[in-house]
Structure 1
Amino acid sequence: MAGLVGTLCILVGFLTWALVSPVGGSPDDDYHLGSTWCPNPVEGGSCDVVVSNGEVTKIVVPETVYMSQDCWAFHPETSAACTDDLADDVYVPSYRFDDGAYPPGYYRFHHTLVGPDVHRSVVMMRFANVILGLGGVVAVGALSAPRARQNLILATVAAWVPMGVYFVASNNPSSWAISGVLIYGGALVSAAGSSHWRRWTLLAFAVMGAGMAMMSRPDAAFYLLIVTLALWLLVPFRKNLMPEVILSGIATGLGLLVLLSSTQADNLTGDGGWPVDLNASTLEVLVDNIASLPAYAASLWGLGMGPGWLDVPLTGWATLVMVIVFGALLFAGAHDISWRNGFAAMVVFGALYGIPVVSMTLRHVAPVTYYQGRYMLPLLAFALLVWVQPGTKKPLGLSLGQTIGIAGIASVANASALATTILRFASGVTSDGMSSAAGEPWWPWAIGPRVVWIVGALCMTVGIFVLMTLVAHQSNLVTDTLVELSGSTESTRKGRNEGNHSGRRVGHAATPAHAGHIEAADAGVRQTDDLLPADDTDAGGNQ
């Protein structure tokens, strides 16, 4: 019951984020919403088009789809009230649409939710993204063993608050990229240590996550390769893991096909509109980009690149505190590193920070902070998930105080980011995140923005606290039990060595029931910590 309450509270918190920004409220939404109203190929009749010299040059969409952000984007002091002057039944031509740069799946799915009311349609699409993304992660966690569940929740909270939450609840394809990659990786990690119906259900969710990633962005499809390589390093190969190996191989191959079939395949060196410094040598640009990596790392949590069109000025209470939490978990995970999770983490973290550095250096662009953090955000949670995996039978354990501390910081960060985002669109904000009240207020809902913020922040706080403390308790309970049984095993073995005579009064052997119990516990330790086959879970053959 507590888990259900916590999950519902988290859901309400996510849905609140879907309500607080106007149509066009996330980066390049004029492009993404235009592509949703007119999915590729646009010649298919999904909407009217403008043809020039035999080629489609523009699509015809409601002005609320194409022009909503024009009057407030990049001007945080201006509210979104100007969007009220736009009409859903007035159509205008737009050159902003997908002609093959993105996979068609994301846009085609959301096209089914297009209706005459643009704002209602946009909110329904955001709700669908929340249900799919959050629902997938929660399902994977529920199907996982307690220790794996704790690691997944820690990684999700530390990496998603606040920017991951914002993008998952947005119309941007990064929503599916962020949630899909984590669902895919998290499900495969847990499936390798599960059995029977749980294992196959987790594999089904891995397919779902891979599909979401491949249908969202070409780079997210490529990230499946990064995740797969890390998994193959992390989990020792065994014959009974062939389903996981085959699935991950197919997902990787299809992901590469998606990348190569898109027009973004040359994105590593393509023109991104950034200032190019041709006077500096490649080495100088590389050094500048490496020097700016800490600032880029903080931008993953929204520092300098907040919600909206990067124009919501999030404060340190929403960004830097989460950087601290993430760093603390990195140090906590370092208590037990094997060569497997060490190299696996190197693969993911290397891609997370190496791709932007290499991409910007090849373009002769510095600093690396020009590269928007949202492009790499899909790898952040999985990188931490790999890092905190147990290396030598010493799982990550957090005390109740540590768990409450992380939950409290994440709750403050979410509440702060949500408040600033609401203020930015409702009234406009100054550079320090305070209300500017420079123009007309914007708010489309009958319930006021303050009430929405209180409900959203409070629900997210309750949900984070309930789920984190519950899962930490379950994980610690399993750890304590296995440690106790492991100690009992050692005592039994010692007793066998000290006395093994027919009377069995001093050093008698264990009874058959006791032996099966100890062997089952020992197998449980191995399965949980080393991801051994689940068939070894119980020496007696029980589940």
Structure 2
Amino acid sequence: MRLLLLVPLLLLVALSAWAVATPVGGSPDENYHLASIWCGAGERPGLCESASGGAGERVPWATIASQCYAFHPEVAATCQVKALGADPNRLVTTQHVNSVAHYYSPLYYAVLSPFASADVGASVIAIRIVNSLLFVVIVSVLFWVLPARRRPLLVVSLAVTVVPWGVFLIASVNPSGWAVLAGGTVWLAVLGFLESAGWRRVVLGVLAVVTAVMGAGARSDMAVYAVIGMVAAVFLAMRGGGGRRFWVSVILPVVLSLVCFVLFLTAQQVGVWQNGVAPGSGGTARHGWSLLLHNLLNVPTLVFGSLGSWPLGWNDVTIPPVVWVGTLFVFAAAVFTGLATMSWRKALVVGATVIALVSLPLYLLQRSLTEVGGLVHPRYLLPLLIMFVGFVLFPIGTRWVRVTPLQAWLVVAVLSAANAVSLYSNIRRYTLGGAPGVSLSGPGSWWWGSGVPQPSIVFAGGIIAFTAALALLTHHLLTTQRAVPDSVRRGSGVPVASV
């Protein structure tokens, strides 16, 4: 149990490795998000100033021009030296900023704006680590306050879905990182709130509020997913029609759903749902039934792309197939394990989530006359995919799903290897571009200053910390299983979840 206390620190180290494994501008649309963070608190001299004539905002050049390598996998991140010039902090005018375009809710940018400074590189690292710390703190607190029988739902649903896109986004400046966090926690916080009493109930209620607001305030689609998750939690927690206390407790998720709806309306992304048109979206020669059939046959690319088949960064960091083969194998194993227990409530929740995973991207693509590959990306569906795994693993009665120690440690090995290969591929893409060889870096290829460890140290520290955290959590589940009475246990395996 004492060793389990090391898990938060190990997770922070693992995520911090990802935080510095990508240069400034390396996550999708980071030029937009950085400029928006710099202007998240309004006008500040030297950081965000109004352009003359209301033509936009003036922000440091380095916030919007660092992605010289984007879409060019053969170009290393050292191109920034030439692209940014002698004065990367000079103010330039841009309209590609949230205070002008209003694509997203302003909440995310306002929260992170205090970390903006004249040193763009240092600020980016700080923001990425702060986002990583938020994830670690919230998930850790949720783990300890959840009833022990619910903790496996949190651990397994996140573990089998966050490699590689999840860890990449969590340790980035992209708002999708908050959506990933909310996807893995908000429904469990509500479920725990409905099932607990005393101080645990209070803490779980606070976590439900925090994660729902963070998710909905980061992305408008996460506002929709949060409502789906909270409705599912209420449905799964309801037994025998519920009692007066239960229905009074339901007031919290109802109010949070209204808050999510308000935050949903604060972003221009709502226009995508209403009109099927998104800024920068493209069309296609296909239309009608032809387009629908094409997208229906290819939508699994979007649903499962976050497991590694979809390139990282600006779609230019190709991950070797060994990653997505391993992560998809583990994902499928978790799903089939969860299907061992079923009830009509669980079947309804799981079925509705599958329909949402397929129908939501199809709807947006059809309304926008866009084929799979444009407009909708796998990272948009990742929060809902995390929820799906949790719903599938939800137990029925007092049954303990049988997972042997061999199976559990095989999962640890596969996920650890997938994380290692993904981190290696990501670092090497930016240090050496398309250069042949196996080395992680070359002379002058590391874009960070002297305060950041060299690539080999970042890589080693990241994979060791990730593996150790996963191993300690697995050992905890094994130990917990051994304490289960024989009358409850089903086989000699690890409890995935129990009621």
Provide TM-score, normalisation by structure 2: 0.90
Q: 1:317 aligns to what SS in structure 2?
A: helix
Measured at CA, do residues 224 and 120 of structure 1 come closer, stay the same or move farther in structure 2, by a change above 3 Å?
same
* 1:58 aligned onto 2:56: yes
Q: Does 1:340 align with 2:351?
A: no
Matched, 1:33 2:34: yes
Q: Which residue of 1 aligns with 2:165?
A: 163
Contact 2:37 2:109 in 1 (8 A): yes
Q: Could you say if the C-alpha distance between residues 92 and 343 of structure 1 is closer, same or farther in structure 2, counting changes exceeding 3 Å?
A: same
Q: Deviations over 1:292-327 (max 9, x none)?
A: 123223312231x32221211011222221111111
C-alpha distance after superposition, 1:424-444 (max 9, x if no partner):
1111136x9967989962331
Does residue 238 (structure 1) correspond to residue 238 (structure 2)? The answer is: no
Match of 1:301 in 2: 307
Provide the residue aligned with 2:212 in structure 1.
210
Aligned equivalents of 1:263 and 1:48: distance in 2? Answer: 23
Q: State yes or no: 1:256 paired with 2:261.
A: yes
The within-5 A match list for 1:34-183 is 34-39=35-40, 47-52=48-53, 56-69=54-67, 71-85=68-82, 86=84, 87-98=87-98, 99=100, 100-183=102-185
- Conservation of the 8 A alpha-carbon contact between 2:40 and 2:110: yes
CA contact (8 A) 2:104 2:266 kept: no
**Map of 1:494 onto structure 2:** none
Q: 2 CA distance for matches of 1:410 and 1:238?
A: 42
- 2-side partners of 1:253 and 1:478: how far apart? 42
**SS of equivalent to 2:112:** helix
1:326 paired with 2:331, answer yes
Q: Which amino acid aligns with 1:212?
A: M
Cα deviation, 1:45-103, whole Å, max 9, x if unaligned, reads 97212244xxx33211111111000x211111111112234344322212210132211
Q: Secondary structure at the match of 1:240?
A: helix
| Contact 1:289/1:368, CA 8 A, preserved across alignment | no
Unaligned runs of 5+ in 2: 491-496
Residue aligned with 1:308, SS: coil
Root mean square deviation, CA, Å: 2.6
* Structure 2 equivalent of residue 404 of structure 1: 409
Residues 289 and 367, structure 1, Cα contact 8 Å, conserved in 2: yes
> Which residue does 1:513 correspond to in 2?
none
**Cα 1:444–1:41, aligned 2, differ >3 Å: closer, same or farther?**
closer
Match for residue 291 of structure 1?
297
- Compared with structure 1, are the counterparts of its residues 148 and 246 closer, same or farther at alpha carbon in structure 2 (3 Å cutoff)? same
Matched, 1:449 2:455: yes
Instruction: Give per-residue Cα distances to partners, 1:456-504, cap 9 Å, x unaligned.
Output: 1111111111112212321x134335528x9xxxxxxxxxxxxxxxxxx
Per-residue deviation, 1:190 = 2.4
Conserved 8 A contact 2:38-2:113:
yes
Identity of aligned residues (%): 27
The number of residue pairs the alignment matches comes to 481
3-state SS of the aligned residue for 1:61? strand
> What is the TM-score normalised by the length of structure 1?
0.83
Secondary structure of the corresponding residue to residue 384 of structure 1: helix
Q: Which consecutive unaligned segments of at least 5 residues does structure 1 have?
A: 487-527, 531-543
Task: Tell me, in whole angstroms, the C-alpha distance in 2 between the residues paired with 1:44 and 1:453.
Answer: 38
Q: Secondary structure at the match of 1:319?
A: helix
Q: Distance in 1 between matches of 2:382 and 2:367?
A: 21
Residue equivalent to 1:535: none
Distance 1:206 1:272 in 2: 32
Q: Is the 8 A contact 1:314 1:433 kept in 2?
A: no
2:419 is paired with a residue whose SS is helix
Determine the C-alpha separation between the residues in 1 that align with 2:308 and 2:395: 30
Out of 464, 467, 470, the residue aligned to residue 470 of structure 2 is 464
Change (3 A) 1:400 1:445: farther
Kindly provide the amino acid, as one letter, of the partner of residue 106 in structure 2: P
SS in 2 for 1:329: helix
User: Cα gap change, 1:112/1:481 in structure 2, threshold over 3 Å: closer, same or farther?
Assistant: farther
Q: Mean Cα displacement is larger for which, 197-206 or 167-176?
A: 197-206
Q: Any conservation in 2 of the 1:230–1:348 contact (CA below 8 Å)?
A: no
Quote the residue 1:314 is aligned against. 319
Task: Give, in whole Å, the separation in 2 of the partners of 1:27 and 1:388.
Answer: 31
> Counterparts of 1:433 and 1:481 in 2: how far apart (Å)?
54
Bigger mean CA offset, 232-241 vs 40-49: 40-49
The residue aligned with 2:493 is: none
User: 2:14 maps to what in 1?
Assistant: 13
How far is 1:401 from its partner? 1.1
The structure with more radius of gyration: 1
Q: Deviations over 1:361-386 (max 9, x none)?
A: 22222236752111111212111111
2:32–2:96 Cα contact (<8 Å) kept:
yes
Query: Paired residue for 1:511?
Result: none
Contact kept, 8 Å, 1:163 with 1:301, in 2: the verdict is yes
